[in-house]
Amino acid sequence: MLRSYSQDRWQDGTGEAVALADAATGETVASIPRTGPSAALMLEHARTVGGPALRALTFAERAGVLKALAKRLSGHIDEFVALSTRTGATRRDTTVDVDGGIGTLAVYASKGTRELPASHVLLDGPVEPLGKGGTFAGRHILIPRLGAAVQVNAFNFPVWGMLEKFAPAFLAGMPSVVKPASQTAYLTALVVERIVESGLLPPGSLSLLCAGPGDLLDSLTSQDTLSFTGSSSTAYALRTHPVVAGRAVPFNAEADSLNCSILGPDVTVDSPDFSLYVAQIVTEMTVKAGQKCTAIRRAFVPAPLAGAVADAVYAGLASVVVGNPASPQTGMGPLASLAQRDEVGKLAEAARIVFGDPGHVEVHEADDSRGAFLSPVLLRSHDPSAAALHEIEAFGPVSTVIPYTGLDSVIELAARGDGSLAGSIVTGSGDVAASLIAGLAPWHGRLLVLNSSDAAESTGHGVAMPQLLHGGPGRAGGGAELGGMRALEHYLQRTAIQGHPDLLATLDPS
Ligand code: NAP
């Protein structure tokens, strides 16, 4: 039975419990209570104990704690990997979640050490003269908010999802209150257990709610923050919650996304860039069984190449072994649940399935009647304007090849996704790249231009890097995470200070 970490001790929940199944075997891994300890008390402790303890440290000192923590967690990777398998993750999938999460912590530690001052206040921009006589001026400062940083996470990244929010909140000086998604909360809980045991964090700086949200949202104040990752319907419910909206609680959402990858019209079937495009589609469909918010759902290709692309992706998918995530031969594990099959059915009304049977898959070293196994499903559209292609997100190993006829048309089609986290452009032409960047950027949080000149070092379409923005407009939630030190701004109040320039100069810690 999972417990919550509240008021610096592990506490039991109450009431009915829900069994959490191993994604591959259906066996119960853990149970989670529907009702946790009081979220109001959890938040109060974070605000009154965690906040002051964190704000007593300088930005640089907090970076030092994160560095020690990243090192400590690295020593537990094998244990995390073993439990991660039960979420359906292969070792490759776990690299993105566990290794990627600890790596994100390490990047924030090192950037924080290099870029943040040994002070309690950040200066933002230059002194702005406001009077002709030189006796009156203004400048902005950034200072930690006094509340708790509440983080509600999705099931697909139980470790990375927590650490990518915790790291900037901690650096900024705010205590974190983490609510993992129930489905995979046991892995988040194990990592929190190891963090707590390390004794590295100041008291009150991390709490974990393993239960339903209870009174979490009702207990928020205007000095707290709320960060959310998950579906757009939950994002909407949180954004419009009377306390969140009524008290103007700073809110950030990372939601659904119908990401695209565009093959440039300059690429020919026999070129290395064609192979890069195809390999990337196969990778994005199969890593984490396509349960990645950044995965490619729409593969836009010049109309004359649609058949060749579909054939090449088919060949790539045909060699992917689906099955037991613990087996080294397995290329793709099970999904967290088979609910996504319905979405595939709706897509199949708008496009033809060219690879995979949503109702059947041969599995390796596993029992397909017990695990949530789904074949990769590739669709090919002959009607690029069909609404379903641009509106239905099958959160699994599902992608559609969609033909286009010109750059203006593909820019318009991409925009029908109504805002995405990540897009990629595979082209060797600087002109094509420039036109597509100009057309796509207003709809995207991140764009990758891939070709044989950068492929060897490319981190790939789907990987959110701590140095760069993760977030996107519209359907993607309208939020902004990561992006290096920019992520701290969610947890900091920006205040304009006006006064004599000599006074403003004293704000500068250097
Ligand atoms: P979800 O159902 O929206 O749940 C997300 C989180 O919200 C879970 O922790 C859930 O808790 C919690 N939650 C649900 N209702 C709540 C409420 N009324 N108050 C407070 N918390 C509440 O989404 P999901 O099924 O876990 O995740 C899949 C979706 O997330 C996909 O659509 C995917 O596109 C999106 N996603 C986006 C990103 C991104 O970075 N943009 C990353 C990953 C996933 P319980 O689990 O306990 O219900």
Q: Would you state the pLDDT for residue 270?
A: 97
Q: Which atom of ligand 1 is nearest to the CA of 234?
A: 3
Alpha carbon distance 307, 188 (integer Å): 43
Q: Which of 32-36, 129-133, 502-506 has the lowest mean pLDDT?
A: 502-506
Residues 6+ apart with CB under 8 A from 192: 5, 162, 178, 206, 208
Annotated catalytic residue: which of 254, 284, 393, 481? 254
Tell me if 335 CB under 6 Å of ligand 1: no
Q: Give the model confidence (pLDDT) of 235-292 as tens digits.
A: 999 999 999 999 999 999 999 899 999 999 999 999 999 999 999 999 999 999 999 9
Tell me if 160 CB under 6 Å of ligand 1: no
For range 35-55, the mean pLDDT: 98
**Regarding beta strands 225-229 and 149-152, do their DSSP bridges make them parallel or antiparallel, or are they unpaired?**
parallel
User: 315 C-alpha to center of ligand 1: Å?
Assistant: 34
293 part of the active site: yes
3-state secondary structure of 256: coil
DSSP 294-327: T-EEEEEEEGGGHHHHHHHHHHHHHTPPBB-TTS
Tell me if 181 CB under 6 Å of ligand 1: yes
Q: Would you state the pLDDT for residue 2?
A: 98
Percentage above 90 pLDDT, the chain:
93
User: 54 C-alpha to center of ligand 1: Å?
Assistant: 28
The CA angle 299-305-306, to the nearest 5 degrees, is: 50
Contact yes or no for 427/266 (Cβ under 8 A):
yes
| Ligand 1 mutation pick, 157, 231, 481, max ligand atoms within 8 A of CB | 231
User: 201 C-alpha to center of ligand 1: Å?
Assistant: 27
Contact yes or no for 404/239 (Cβ under 8 A):
no
User: 382 C-alpha to center of ligand 1: Å?
Assistant: 33
Q: Give the model confidence (pLDDT) of 184-240 as tens digits.
A: 999 999 999 999 999 999 999 999 999 999 999 999 999 999 999 999 999 999 999
210 part of the active site: no
Of 215, 224, 268, the residue nearest 247 (C-alpha) = 224
Tell me if 182 CB under 6 Å of ligand 1: yes
User: 369 C-alpha to center of ligand 1: Å?
Assistant: 26
Q: Would you state the pLDDT for residue 375?
A: 94
Percentage above 70 pLDDT, the chain:
99
